[in-house]
Amino acid sequence: LDTLSDDEVRFTLRISRKQWEVTKALFVAKGFIDEALNLLPWNQRLAQADEPCVDVEDDPLIERDQQRRAYEEALVQRQAAAQEAAAMVPAPADEHEHKPDLLNALLAPVEAIPPHIEQEMARIREAMARPQDDEASKERLRAAEAEMRRRLQQKKQAPTDAEPPQVKPARKSKTHDAEKPDEVEQGVWDDFLKLRKTKKAPLTVTALNQIKKEADKANMPLNKALEICCLRGWQGFNAHWLEDDSASSAAPASNCPV
């Protein structure tokens, strides 16, 4: 077995000269090869395998890996700190917050008071703590802070004080416009209304008057006419249908006048 030179091994492994020097030193320390790149016998390598390994502090590969890991951890920490700092930076203030009138700037929610408002309130409290040459100026500062607190409290209570709009109950539309005549029994009237509803023909006042007119032609009470309509499935009534019983029973509902 021919022994390769350092350059041949480095070219085969596609590594730099410095990397090969480190790798060669590690292989020699492990007992795989000697300084002339000769493979050591198996029994010799097996005997050296039980010997202690190279100290971590003396191994340049391990030291470089530790440095790389430390750099990556520091980079992650710096990125996390940058993101945390960016989250703490307040959003750009709009034109409303830059108005000189501080009370108008208090229209923002209480939970998110602009920083410059907090600073202004602190400045007012600090000015009140200092001795005042003029009692009137001190009173103005008190009034300004009280007004600020009142506006903030008013803004905080606004959503809870608002009463929900009252919803009016929907009006039920009447299916039938006609009212039950006194001479018609309630049971007959209910059955006739169900029949009209089944045929999708709501009973109107005009339709009821027409049925009364046809019942008078047949010399029949309105209650009897509606009872016949329920028995024969008629949504309306015609006096001529009673002239021939067999014909009237077969009369189609589509020929109904009402």
Q: Residue 96: what pLDDT?
A: 44
Q: Residue 244: what pLDDT?
A: 61
* Greatest Cα-to-Cα distance within the chain, rounded to the nearest angstrom: 137
Burial status of residue 231 (CB atoms within 10 A of its CB: 0-12, 13-18, 19 or more): exposed
Which of 63-72, 116-125, 187-196, 199-208 bottoms out in mean pLDDT, i.e. has the lowest? 116-125
Which of 220, 143, 226 lies closest to 180, judged by CA?
Answer: 226
In a 13 Å sphere around the CA of 45, the CA atoms on its Cβ side amount to 12
The one-letter code for the residue type at 199 is K
Predicted TM-score (pTM) of this structure: 0.31
Separation CA 9–CA 166 (nearest Å): 89
Which of 134, 112, 138, 115 lies closest to 125, judged by CA?
Answer: 138
Q: What is the mean pLDDT of residues 21-33?
A: 87
- Cα-to-chain-centroid distance, residue 172: 36
Q: What is the mean pLDDT of residues 61-73?
A: 74
Burial status of residue 170 (CB atoms within 10 A of its CB: 0-12, 13-18, 19 or more): exposed
At 143-191, the pLDDT tens digits run 887 887 888 777 777 655 555 666 666 555 556 678 888 888 999 999 9
Angle between helices 17-30 and 60-88 (to 10 degrees): 120
Instruction: Look up residue 73 and give its two tokens.
Output: 């951890």
DSSP one-letter string for 24-62? HHHHHHHTSB-TT-PBPPHHHHHHHHTS----GGG-HHH
225 touches 219 (CB < 8 A): no
The one-letter code for the residue type at 154 is Q
Domain chopping of the chain, boundaries: 6-80, 95-157, 186-255
Which of 55, 66, 64, 57 lies closest to 19, judged by CA?
Answer: 64
217 phi and psi, to 5 degrees?
-60, -35
Which of 208, 96, 6 lies closest to 216, judged by CA?
Answer: 208
pLDDT tier at 59, thresholds 50, 70, 90:
low
196 touches 203 (CB < 8 A): yes
- Mean of pLDDT over the chain: 72
